[in-house]
Structure 1
């Protein structure tokens, strides 16, 4: 089951890297903005899933491996928060429209 946590974490990190590559191109196009917001929400869901899976595997993981997973999750959360800050103006504009 630890493999599932690793692959979810890897998927989340890959997603964050991709979203950062494309965020600079964010325009005020409502459909594109909605898609970015949906993708950002998907990243948060992946983070939560990883945390839940890691919590279920506490007794099966060596402490050092658990620490590595926790560090990866925290780094992913920080990256997602940075992306959310970039997306916030677009989200506000969508709500205003």
Structure 2
């Protein structure tokens, strides 16, 4: 047998087996694609600002003193938030404001 004929026969047989293993052609591939579910819808956009509350509304503290206060924040999408507090003067940590000296 001529090597070229033998090689082409082997390649054609291998290609035929691969097609047979995949199914009966394009119809099976299309049927497989139709069975793939669509991706889920994206989550709704967060359009509402978080709700922030500070209690008491007014906190009077002597120089170098401390005062207890509560700061909370919540968002309709993200849920309970941990507020990041920055003070122009003094500091705020663990629900306690410390006034500058």
TM-score, normalised via structure 1 length: 0.27
The structure carrying a bigger strand percent of its residues is: 2
* Larger relative contact order (CA 8 Å, sep ≥ 6): 1
TM-score, normalised via structure 2 length: 0.26
Q: Which one has the largest radius of gyration?
A: 2
